[in-house]
Structure formats: C-alpha cells, structure tokens
Amino acid sequence: MRPLIFTSIIAGLGNQMFQYATARRLALKTWGELILVVDDPQRYRLPVFRIGGHEVPAGLAVPPRLFGLGQMPAPADIPLVTEGKVWDLIPQSGTGALAGGSLLYAPELRNWRGHIRLQGYWQDERYFADIRLRIRRDFSLKQPLDARNRECRARILDGPSAFFHVRRGDYLSPQVSHLFGVCTADYYDRALKILRAREPGVKTFVFSDDPGWAAQNSIGGTGAEIIDWNAAAPERDLALMQACNHAVIANSSFSWWGAWLGERLGSIIIAPKIWYKAVPEFRDIVPERWMRI
C-alpha cells in the first residue's frame, strides 16, 4: 500500500497553503497519496489552485474505494504528528490563536516514510523548498484573472514594482492582539526608503484588509496604487502580489506567500523583525535571504 499522507487544512488561505505544501512534498517523496482533511468548508480556498490530492471533510472516515487501495489502515495505526509547542513560550493571557499548535521546524519530518497524519501550520519553507517549482505550479490559478485584475497586472509588470501588504483586521482584536501585534506606519516608511534607495522609480501597490488606514498613512508613498476590489477572492490579490519584483510583507502568512511565489533573482523582500509580539525570538518563518527590519 502506498503511504497515506493526511494533513489538516485549517485557518485562512495562507495557512492552508503551508499545510498543503508540506504534505505535498511528503507525498511526492514517498510516492504516497495526499489527503486534505478540510476542517471548515466555508473557509477552504485551495480548490481555486491547480492542486493535487484528495479532499475529505474532517471527521469523515475515508472509504477505501476512494483510492482503490483495498484495506485501509485503522486511524489509530496512522501516526499523528503535531508541531512543537510555541504556545508553551507564550504568556498565558487571553485564549491565544496558537493554542494547540506551533511553528517550530522539525527537520526529521522531511525524511518521514510511511503513513502520517499532520496537524499544525508548518510555516517554514524548509519543509518544501526543494520542490519549489512544483509548489509554484500547484498554486497557479485555475481560472484566468478578470479584466480589471489583468489591467492591474499589466501596470505591475510595466517596470520595477513592489507590493506592500498591510494586515490589521483581526490582529487588532483583543483575542489575538497580544500575540501578533501589527506593523506600524514607520515600518512601511523605512521599507519604502530602502526600496527607493536600491530601486529608484519603483512603482508601489498596496494590499490591505484596511485600505482606509493604508491611504491615510500614505503606505507605499506618493502615487501608490491601493488594490481594494478582491476581498471576496484573495487568490487574485495573491496573483497580483507575485507579479511584483519586490515585496514588503506584514507578519502574515498571506503576504509571505505573495513574496515567496513571486521571488526571483534580484528581488528585495522586506519582512518585520518581530513576527509574534508574544514570542519575539521566533524567526524561522522568514528565510535568511530576506531582509528583516
């Protein structure tokens, strides 16, 4: 029997992409079957991409006929692998969005063989960097961009460009504000100065869940274009982000993917030095080659 690689698909699109990419590599390296266990169908966005694998709802037993494998192993016989406990490092205030999971890199996972059930976020490119081209193909859109987004993409491609991503929204809520914090206007101003010093004439494009705040604080500088029409289809924002030459990301897995998928020779990618306010020493999510300020 081929190895069964189960992975829980939870949270928002950026997190789902990390969960998929880590499991996808394991399935490819072991010639296994990738099974995406979807926790919340309402938030599940991966089908907009050309992904592989099988999808099953959480809590539903997987019928053998789905894969033509005959006798399936009992769930208890499939090892459950979760991440280390970043939560143990976080002061116990509030409920905490990281409860039950973490983002600590486990290199032994790369050499896993056999059945496995993955549960976590797996936000580290080392889990899948060696299949980068495959991941980029998997995360290409099934449907072409509409006319408005195609026109925007043409403007992005017309000369050196950079995207700025501003994540506020839920990061301001009492439940998670003590964990994440938000990137300040000063962070984006400093990043813009670095970009303009290295790439004079760079055009800037701003993506945010709070476009009013971005405009009020002149994120991206004079002449920045704020992209505010893809709220219902975040994958379109992602496609526009990866068309940019350079990136200034928030402490957000969504803009991380915009930068990673679009990274090319000469790209300048700037990330916040502090990803989690509650765990300032955590650094693994930002690749060493990116600039942290």
What fold does the segment set 147-292 form as a domain?
Rossmann fold (3.40.50)
Share of the chain above pLDDT 90, in %: 72
Mean pLDDT taken over the chain: 89
Q: How far apart are the first and last CA of the chain?
A: 48
pLDDT classification of 31: cutoffs 50, 70, 90 = very high
Asked if residue 69 has pLDDT above 90, the reply is no
Instruction: Give me the mean pLDDT over the 67-94 stretch.
Output: 62
What is the per-residue pLDDT for 98?
35
What is the per-residue pLDDT for 93?
37
11 or 176: which carries more pLDDT confidence?
A: 11
pLDDT classification of 137: cutoffs 50, 70, 90 = very high
pLDDT classification of 87: cutoffs 50, 70, 90 = very low
Please answer whether residues 20 and 49 qualify as being in contact, where contact means their C-beta atoms are separated by less than 8 angstroms.
Answer: no
The single-letter code of the amino acid at 87 is W
pLDDT classification of 89: cutoffs 50, 70, 90 = very low
What is the per-residue pLDDT for 152?
98
Count CB-CB contacts under 10 A for residue 3. 18
Nearest-Å Rg of the Cα atoms of the chain is: 20
Asked if residue 92 has pLDDT above 50, the reply is no
Q: Residue 222 — left, alpha, or beta (φ > 0 → left; ψ -120 to 50 → alpha)?
A: beta
Instruction: Give me the mean pLDDT over the 235-250 stretch.
Output: 98
Asked if residue 278 has pLDDT above 90, the reply is no
Instruction: Give me the mean pLDDT over the 122-130 stretch.
Output: 95
Total-model pTM: 0.91
Please answer whether residues 288 and 282 qualify as being in contact, where contact means their C-beta atoms are separated by less than 8 angstroms.
Answer: no
The pLDDT tens digits of the residues spanning 167-222 come to 999 899 888 888 888 999 999 999 999 999 999 999 999 999 999 999 999 999 99
